[in-house]
Structure 1
Amino acid sequence: MTEGFVLDATHGGVAVSSWVEGAPEKNVWTGVKVSGKPRAEIATWRCKRCGFLEQYAAHQTDRSQETKKQMQAVLLALLIVLIVLLVVGAVALLALAVSR
């Protein structure tokens, strides 16, 4: 058996729980440090007769693609904000120049 913990990482959404390898380490910003630690999605099985649950974290998930997509989304959002600010600034300067 390998030490790990179940990660609760949803922010108003719905997701499959993950098991993270290693002891939980506190992080001031995110609560628990998880970057660089292997993860596996948790599959749960339920007995129809008694309701007993068994959980398995069989396959490690590759988070590198997910992280890359998240970073791309953040960079795209920042780029859009910068473009909007530039357009607003240009319109304001044009309005100032015209009013003089």
Structure 2
Amino acid sequence: MSLQSINRALVSHDLVQDLKWNADLRQEFEKDESSVLDRYDLTPAERTAIEERDFRTLYDLGFHPYLGAQFARILFANNKSGATSAVQHLLASIRQERVPDRSEASDA
């Protein structure tokens, strides 16, 4: 994963930026993720990776690493309480390991 391999055409970049800056959209995403994803012209691979929380695939598609960290925080609800759980999920996904549950991640 390098900055040269970033695919600037990925619509998932727009999704993450929108979620990052729009609290109403984040709330809607938490309640009905599928309907929010339907609004974005994601490739099937992007959508599946998002739904499965598969950051390794997103990065293989050319997802920007900075946005990956931001997205992990959004997905794993760590915007208020720190990023430990989000980072654990992100790293496990990249390494293609079992994702720790919340109690394991908070012990790290």
Q: TM-score, normalised by structure 2?
A: 0.24
Judging by fraction of residues, say which structure has more helix: 2
Give 1 or 2 for the bigger CA radius of gyration. Answer: 1
Q: Which has the higher strand share?
A: 1
Question: Which structure ranks higher in relative contact order (CA pairs < 8 Å, sequence separation ≥ 6)?
Answer: 2
TM-score normalised per structure 1: 0.25
